[in-house]
A and B are shown apart, each in its own frame.
Chain A
């Protein structure tokens, strides 16, 4: 006999202002309102005070002539014709360049050190451990100053430049490489490169499918190498080498022409990569240790050597644990690149928040823009990493 559960008295109706749900909504709305009011009030307050103190405000400074020079510019920039806005983009590109390359090098180095620390080779493991312990515990600013001064002191001065292959100069002003000048007809080589890339992707997909079906492996690595490097080279030769080089020329004071790599850039890149690699090494080690021992034993019992085991079994599973902290380390590296101001590398903070702020005097606008830019860079990085993360995440059945 079933009890009729619906005939029980329904819960007593309370007044809507006593309902916990309604209460919590009201509290949250009021809190948001207060915060918005405070932020709005503070902004109005700041604008008012700036105006009464006759301090210029607004974003008109963006189109004013810059008047100063920047030592490394990835886009065209001149002290006379360029504006503060242009200087902002130059600084931003410099930051992105050092952050991007730093992330790549730090990842490679970090993974190597992290895996080395788990190696059976005693010397390798101890070396990796001491690397991590030393680098992690020294302040980054000290390390940057060390690299900058060490790099500069070790290099010869201009008169005694190290000349490599007759076209490359190395001295304490930088590394001067011959820069390629693309002549007419080079676009065919670029097209060949694109064809090579597409071809190798197609080959890789076909090889995977065939391996899943029949178990036969194909030499993907060599074919890819041939397509991406060999094919464009062949086309280059066939077209008669439509490529010339702009060689650096030694002048009275400096070397002009060619591609210039500043010592400030090199020092910042080394310092950031080595520092962040120590942290990434620990993250990688944690990830690998998180994979259960049974996986390795099963792989060995199937006859896999330790190398392929690590590459095909352990690391793909470890990536689940590695990727979230790895994202943090990437964001740290990007933000740590602002220490460039200490060694004279013209990154965004040095150019924009340093020089432009001082020349215009508009601290509020400039700092707000800089914070917004770093926030955007960080959010984009973590967004992309989260896409990758969701792909390697464990799918629960």
Chain B
């Protein structure tokens, strides 16, 4: 068989595999999206119609989440809205990310240039990730209950900061490592003090790295489930927790359920698409670079 037919076969095979796979992969997301836009009659499939494609689209489900009203209110004792968890997620993720970024970037620079913390510091941080969160949560819980930090903003922010530190350091260190040390030395020869080298010379160079790390850690904070589950209960629970909490409350209200899911998932999806290029670096702690 010659090269030309070989190429054609490969092309056919490729699309034959990719298209079904993509459909299967995207189906759950698609379904959740469309269900969140469906009116109540269409929420569940009937024997004759799997209702994969909605016939009517409405934003009622979303509105419902923000202010329960009308017919649906009589279906469920649903008194809570989505304002609180949404705001909480935003506030907590945002602040923790910023804080972790500040502390972590400084530390990462020190590790990158001066091997601060020892040769194995990066490896030690990896070990941190190895422990099941539940094992870490217990002592934190003990500490927090003593400090009366449970269900507080500062408690959660500190928690998220600490937990994501390894990621920040790994990511930022890999970005710093990408910049040759010659630049540091050139700057110092030009008369800069070490702090100036860091703040005025190197930091601007890693700006894209900082942006990527910010988005990545934001996703990590936003996705946290166990932490918020244990450490919050009434005032500061986040969107993922809301999902779990409202499971029972919603009962069979698939529409609003789907809408909640969409709200919880969309920000991270969008961010994820944006930082696609850096995902490999992030997930492998900078060990593998593309």
Answer yes or no: do A and B interact: no
